[in-house]
Homo-oligomer: A and B are copies of this chain.
Amino acid sequence: MNPAINYCCHCGAAVSQRVPAGDTLLRAVCDACGAIHYQNPKLVVGSLPEWQDKVLLCRRAIEPRSGKWTLPAGFMENHETLPEAAMRETIEEACAQVEIGAMYTLISVPHISQVHAIYRARLLTLDYSPGIETLEVALLAEHEIPWEDIAFRTIALTLRHFYADRKAGNFGFHTAELRPNGSPLAGRPES
């Protein structure tokens, strides 16, 4: 979560919250230097690494959801492409070498202003190990997936698509939006 904007990061003056000319939303505006401080959704990008009939999962060493299982993924950085971000995160979280394939799921999570993108990936070697934000890395068969201990709903949805598509013999590209748990729109698919 980004810190609240109270001061102008450019000149240090206090900002005001107002709708700039020609805009429709409240922004943090600096009346001293004129800077407008936009805040926009963040991309979380990762991979679903496959090895034979197994997939690679990571058990998280950090909050949120420390101790829970996830796919290797994290915030996209400036100056990289989507597949570069997926590969970097797979290296950082699981010290794993992968060949990044097609984009597999792209899920809007509007209540936390994130978009999660997961690529299919081929694990290239069995030489993997936990990165600094990971407790444990494991290759798991479908019956070994800890469904009750998956850290994020976007990851559980991605894994459900994966096993359904594998059974059907046809891997599509899936988009969705996930609302807060308990919302009437929770989990409503976009397409």
Interface presence of A52 (CB below 8 A): no
Contacts of A83 in B (CB 8 A): 108, 177, 190
So how many copies of this chain end up in the complex? 2
Contact partners of A12 in chain B: CB under 8 A: 6-7, 12, 14
A7/B6 contact (C-beta < 8 A), A22-B133, A175-B82 known: no
Binary B-proximity of A5-34 (CB < 8 A = 1, otherwise 0): 111111110110000001011001000010
Q: A3 an interface residue at 8 Å Cβ cutoff?
A: yes
**Which residues of B are found within 8 Å of A8, using beta-carbon distances?**
3, 7, 9
- A39 beta carbon closer than 8 Å to chain B: yes
30 contacts between A and B (CB under 8 A): A2-B37, A3-B9, A3-B33, A4-B9, A5-B9, A5-B10, A6-B10, A6-B11, A6-B12, A7-B7, A8-B9, A9-B15, A22-B133, A24-B92, A25-B77, A38-B75, A40-B42, A40-B43, A40-B76, A40-B77, A40-B78, A41-B77, A43-B43, A80-B110, A82-B106, A82-B177, A83-B190, A84-B110, A103-B106, A103-B175
